[in-house]
Amino acid sequence: MSAQAASEPKPVPTLRLQAALQLLAQAGQSLPGDAPQGSLRWLQAVIDGLCDLSSRDALTGLSNRRQFELAIAREIDRVARAGEPALVLMVDIDHFKRVNDTHGHAAGDEVIKAVGQALQDCVRPMDTVARFGGEEFAIILPNCPPAFGQTVAERIRLKVQRRPVAVSSGAEVAVTISIGGAFAPQWVRSSAPLWIERADQQLYRAKSEGRNRACLEQPTVSLVSAEEKSLLFGTSQFQDIE
């Protein structure tokens, strides 16, 4: 190889971004107009937009299942180390199949979007509302004392009940939800599946007792020694990124 050939710069490979840009455009994600295409700031905006899309439910715009699992893992870690209360609510739309059968699947989508918006309207910025799957939602409420849990759940239930959903056929659909809730055990490093399962059990209870109600599990009091508490700080799966 000649010295001249060795000194020539290697061609920079072209990134294939057409599919990514189409996804962002379809989702209404805008890129900075004042940043040249291909610049570092422009590419960072593309990456940020794709990350946001990957964490959102396409229908409702809420957090999706993946984002919910990340959020609940962080909350379990925080509760274990800080001992602060936290509540998970599992929410299910009552008689949702009846909506689809009567008004069609497009109306069902409108109901899901309306319920998701109602849930989002009821929570604080620090809370996480996610579409868990189908007509089921999940809400993580950090620092929610047990004394307020039932009040919060009832406020959410009534918000949905009092907001009929207008569908494309011109009809208004009355919607109710059933809610099940469970508190994370304080000073204990639980697991997301166990915490969700306990909330799900309360959701099943709400369904079996007639629907359109909120059932919350009474929190247990965990007695943990000071030494055990100190050990919790050394086992955080998020300690390297906090």
Give catalytic residue positions. 135
User: How many other CB atoms sit within 10 Å of the CB of residue 46?
Assistant: 19
- Measured over the CA atoms of residue 55, residue 180, residue 78 and residue 152, the dihedral's sign is positive
Residue 41 class from Cβ within 10 Å (0-12 exposed, 13-18 middle, 19+ buried)?
exposed
Torsion angle (degrees, nearest 10) of CA 139, 145, 150, 151: -100
Separation CA 18–CA 89 (nearest Å): 40
User: How many other CB atoms sit within 10 Å of the CB of residue 84?
Assistant: 15
Q: Is 38 helix (H, G, I), strand (E, B) or coil?
A: coil
Residue type, 76: I
Torsion angle (degrees, nearest 10) of CA 178, 160, 110, 65: -50
Q: What is the rounded end-to-end Cα distance, in angstroms, of the chain? A: 50
Residues 215/203, Cβ–Cβ less than 8 Å: yes
96-103 and 105-122 helices cross at what angle (nearest 10)?
140
The token pair that represents 18 in the structure block:
């057409």
